[in-house]
Structure 1
Amino acid sequence: MSNIPTSPDLYDSGPSAKAKKRGRSHSSDGHHHHRVSSKMSKGNRLGDDPESDSDTMSNLMASSSSSMTSLVLANGQRDEDFYFEDGSCVLLVGGILFNVHRSILSRDSSSFGAMFSLPQGGKEAEGRSDEHPIVLSGDTPDEFRHFLWALYALPPELRIATANVNHLIDIAKVSNKYSFKTLETWALDAIQDYVNRKPSPLFNSAEFDALPKAPNQPETVDQLTRLIRLAQLCQHDRLLATMVALLRQLMTISVQYAYLAMKLSDELDLRALRGAAYLEVMQKARVVKRACGDPAALTVEGTIDATGRLVVTRTQQLKLLAGYYRLTSTWDRLRMTPLQFEHSHSCGATWHQQGCTQSWLEFWKEKTRSDGVMNLGLADVIGRLKLVQKDYDRWGSATYMHHDCRMSAKKAIGDMIKRVEESLPDYFSEPGDFAED
């Protein structure tokens, strides 16, 4: 895969030698502070030995104010990789100070460029010193560090075919937040290429072999969750479609993946996922509602309790019950009232239309009560209709229906299946929200 970045931070290695070449702050003062701390920890604490107190105090006083603030500042600690001595903008992210260049942050019509153009007033401008940094909330230092790596990376660093997808997610997320559209698109496309690899790099071989059981790798569930949330946040349709398709495949293997799909579809309003996820849970799991505010409850939503039941929230349980009721009611109506279709013009002219209609009614009555249909779940409307459709295809020419009418009836079955599939998310809406309630 091309155009996927590599860097010391992005690919799980230690600080790069490039950090020093680029003028990053690796002050020897920090090492001095460490030596002083070590010396004190070995027994040379103030008051322990009067004769050594004067030496210790001398060492402490020799450590200048600048050396102390280079390690632990009032506002935060300087980042080892992205606190540049010639930086022109100090940012505080989660207790870590970054000193970078305004010209870099102003690229790509970013929100930083608009912020820098605002009048500063009479007070000292934020971002000009460690004492008055620009405070960024909602980001972690690691996320922002990965984002800065992408901003400062050289072209050769962006073309290595190994990637840490979690770091790419950080880059895309922060780029989206601060309107770095070009960088965001690059990161999302790199993620898209990554998840499309075969076999899927989202699963290690051990977990892939265990997929028929349950998602036993929490990091995999977390990664799937982050990817779908990111695709929705950035409105990247290709990545979102890829992740939804993957999760739809996984939820047929494990009910816990189905629960994850159900949860994310509600959280992100993913209509393409909601109906299928709720249907999968309804058909394959025994569920139990977790008691609200019960501190003794050790099980959490999405896990299987000691009796083998899937733990869900009260709202999810109500939606599952509502969906079951609506789907069973729909099947009762379909079973009692055969699908309508329009007879062809030639049916009345060259055929006995009443016999054509009677033949269709008898077929529908027989097949909707067949053993195969009755063996399926009461709420499995789609499965039952598909079985009727298959029986209809096998019906052959042994019928008194006109050929054109047969085609119309076949189309009516297919249209009904499609209609139920498209409205499936509505079946699992909360009580009172469904048009037919």
Structure 2
Amino acid sequence: MAALQSTVHSNGPNRDKDHYHETGDSIIRVENVLFKIHKFPLTHNSSVFATMFNLPVGIGSVEGLSDDIPIVLEGEKAEDFRAVLKYIYAPPVQLQMERIPISALREIISLVKLSHKYEMDHWKEWGVEVLERMLDDLHSLPVEHLQPLYSLYSLVGDAPARTRVMKQWCEVIETNKLLIVPVLDAASAYDDRDAIAEAYCIQIRRWEKEDANVLNPNSYRADGLAQSHIQRIQAGYMSLSLSWGRFRSEELPYVPGVCTETLARHKEFCVRHSRPKWTQAIVDAEAQYPHVTQMVNRFFHVAQRILSALDAAIRENPFGLHHPQYCLHKVIKGFNSHLQTDTHLLANHFFPK
């Protein structure tokens, strides 16, 4: 929340070249910049600003009427406040969304951020819609915009947009061999464990490609990672490896109600029939996704390969699947559905419950 105070630093603030309006009725200082503005657009759009300007006046000079005693917005950046004023004062023709260039992206981020904080709902909604139009193709976005966008979507609670930005950010980092530390810092600020896990996996794959032993810190560069991150990476890597090992050695489980046979006949017929398909699907998955950090992709590959084979069998046989095939089909469909809903599958290996 903004604070009202009248301290003026000895070096003296500068008047903003764009928003020091001579006809303005309030002077606001943000960092070392003075803005002279008309308070109505702020109070009209924000209950927070309305309350701020209506606070009781104490004994002495009134704040906001002179450069010497301005209203001070503590904790804000001048560039953010300037962005808000730019669009508040803009004529309607300049607010047409299709006219907002991609070069204005950082300004729109600032606008949405302050609009969220000061409850300027109209401008927040407008800014979010502008961002949606701008970000149709994240692949063309310069990497320096990804962290501010991620933080913004975390702030306003837009989980799908945040996930989309983080996915692109991780792709850029892995493709260009950039350090993962900025991702870890940003994700840690919002306790985004899924994003942290994705960054850890990038680092593991990087070390593996360098023929390093993930469990031996002496075999690789730390790349600026704190010891706590390295320890969690090692623990997660071990968990992933053990989990995949268990998965590839499992046999088709017996699910009463799905398999209508007895447990003994299930083991004799269903398990025996499914083993070749199961084994081949796992081999294919490991070839397609060689890193254990790609375990989720492996799971999906196994499920889709088996389901595709069984669907082909259904098309070829008008009488339907025989029982072992039916049992396998139902179990794999259930497994595939579980994969669709378990959104924290990867993170749980690095942050066990």
Assess same fold via TM > 0.5. yes
Q: 1:166 aligns with which of 106, 113, 128?
A: 106
- Checking the alignment, whether the CA contact within 8 Å between 2:270 and 2:328 is kept in structure 1 is no
Gap change, CA 1:78 and 1:347, over 3 Å in 2? closer
Q: Does 1:119 align with 2:32?
A: no
Deviation at 1:405, TM superposition (A): 0.7
Q: Does 1:184 align with 2:97?
A: no
Corresponding residue number in structure 2 for 1:5: none
Question: Secondary structure in 2 aligned to 1:423?
Answer: coil
Matches within 5 A, 1:279-358: 279-285=201-207, 310-342=223-255, 347-348=260-261, 352-358=265-271
- Separation in 1 of the partners of 2:221 and 2:346? 27
Question: Secondary structure in 2 aligned to 1:80?
Answer: strand
- Checking the alignment, whether the CA contact within 8 Å between 1:91 and 1:127 is kept in structure 2 is yes
- Separation in 1 of the partners of 2:151 and 2:138? 23
Corresponding residue number in structure 1 for 2:318: none
Deviation at 1:155, TM superposition (A): 0.6
Deviation at 1:371, TM superposition (A): 8.2
Q: 1:143 aligns with which of 80, 89, 96?
A: 80
- Separation in 2 of the partners of 1:235 and 1:383? 27
Question: Secondary structure in 2 aligned to 1:230?
Answer: helix
> What whole-Å deviation, never above 9, does each CA across 1:144-194 have from its counterpart, x for those lacking one?
222212121111121224241112222222222322221122122112211
Structure 2 unaligned residues grouped into runs of 5+: 1-8, 211-219, 314-320
Between 1:374-383 and 1:157-166, the stretch displaced more is 374-383
Q: 1:230 aligns with which of 152, 155, 178?
A: 152
Deviation at 1:401, TM superposition (A): 5.1
Deviation at 1:229, TM superposition (A): 0.8
Corresponding residue number in structure 1 for 2:166: 244
Q: Which amino acid aligns with 2:101?
A: T
Q: Does 1:385 align with 2:299?
A: yes
- Separation in 2 of the partners of 1:125 and 1:156? 37
- Checking the alignment, whether the CA contact within 8 Å between 1:339 and 1:413 is kept in structure 2 is no
Gap change, CA 1:106 and 1:313, over 3 Å in 2? same
Deviation at 1:285, TM superposition (A): 3.4
Deviation at 1:78, TM superposition (A): 2.0
Q: Does 1:273 align with 2:273?
A: no
- Separation in 2 of the partners of 1:103 and 1:365? 69
- Separation in 2 of the partners of 1:367 and 1:146? 58
Larger-gyration structure (1/2): 1
Corresponding residue number in structure 2 for 1:175: 115
Q: Which amino acid aligns with 1:382?
A: V
Gap change, CA 1:126 and 1:76, over 3 Å in 2? same
- Separation in 2 of the partners of 1:381 and 1:248? 17
Question: Secondary structure in 2 aligned to 1:315?
Answer: helix
Question: Secondary structure in 2 aligned to 1:256?
Answer: coil
Corresponding residue number in structure 2 for 1:102: 39
Matches within 5 A, 1:403-422: 403-415=325-337, 417-418=339-340, 422=344
Gap change, CA 1:271 and 1:309, over 3 Å in 2? closer
Gap change, CA 1:364 and 1:330, over 3 Å in 2? farther
Q: Does 1:153 align with 2:90?
A: yes
Question: Secondary structure in 2 aligned to 1:78?
Answer: strand
Question: Secondary structure in 2 aligned to 1:98?
Answer: strand
Deviation at 1:239, TM superposition (A): 3.8
Deviation at 1:321, TM superposition (A): 0.7
Q: Which amino acid aligns with 2:157?
A: Q
- Checking the alignment, whether the CA contact within 8 Å between 1:341 and 1:408 is kept in structure 2 is no
Between 1:360-369 and 1:123-132, the stretch displaced more is 360-369
Deviation at 1:133, TM superposition (A): 0.9
CA RMSD of aligned residues (A): 3.7
Corresponding residue number in structure 1 for 2:134: 194
Gap change, CA 1:384 and 1:103, over 3 Å in 2? closer
- Separation in 2 of the partners of 1:150 and 1:358? 66
Corresponding residue number in structure 2 for 1:78: 15
- Checking the alignment, whether the CA contact within 8 Å between 1:171 and 1:184 is kept in structure 2 is yes
- Checking the alignment, whether the CA contact within 8 Å between 2:20 and 2:37 is kept in structure 1 is yes
Matches within 5 A, 1:253-268: 253-256=175-178, 260-268=182-190
- Separation in 2 of the partners of 1:131 and 1:345? 79
Q: Does 1:376 align with 2:324?
A: no
- Checking the alignment, whether the CA contact within 8 Å between 2:200 and 2:233 is kept in structure 1 is yes
Gap change, CA 1:165 and 1:357, over 3 Å in 2? same
- Separation in 1 of the partners of 2:224 and 2:350? 18
- Separation in 2 of the partners of 1:190 and 1:387? 37
Q: Does 1:402 align with 2:324?
A: yes
Gap change, CA 1:345 and 1:410, over 3 Å in 2? closer
Question: Secondary structure in 2 aligned to 1:120?
Answer: coil
Question: Secondary structure in 2 aligned to 1:106?
Answer: helix
Matches within 5 A, 1:196-215: 196=136, 198=137, 201-202=140-141
- Checking the alignment, whether the CA contact within 8 Å between 2:13 and 2:32 is kept in structure 1 is yes
Question: Secondary structure in 2 aligned to 1:342?
Answer: coil
- Separation in 2 of the partners of 1:241 and 1:383? 17
Deviation at 1:339, TM superposition (A): 4.7
> What whole-Å deviation, never above 9, does each CA across 1:316-349 have from its counterpart, x for those lacking one?
2122111101111212333444352425578439
- Checking the alignment, whether the CA contact within 8 Å between 1:91 and 1:98 is kept in structure 2 is yes
Corresponding residue number in structure 1 for 2:4: none
- Separation in 1 of the partners of 2:163 and 2:68? 46
Between 1:373-382 and 1:100-109, the stretch displaced more is 373-382
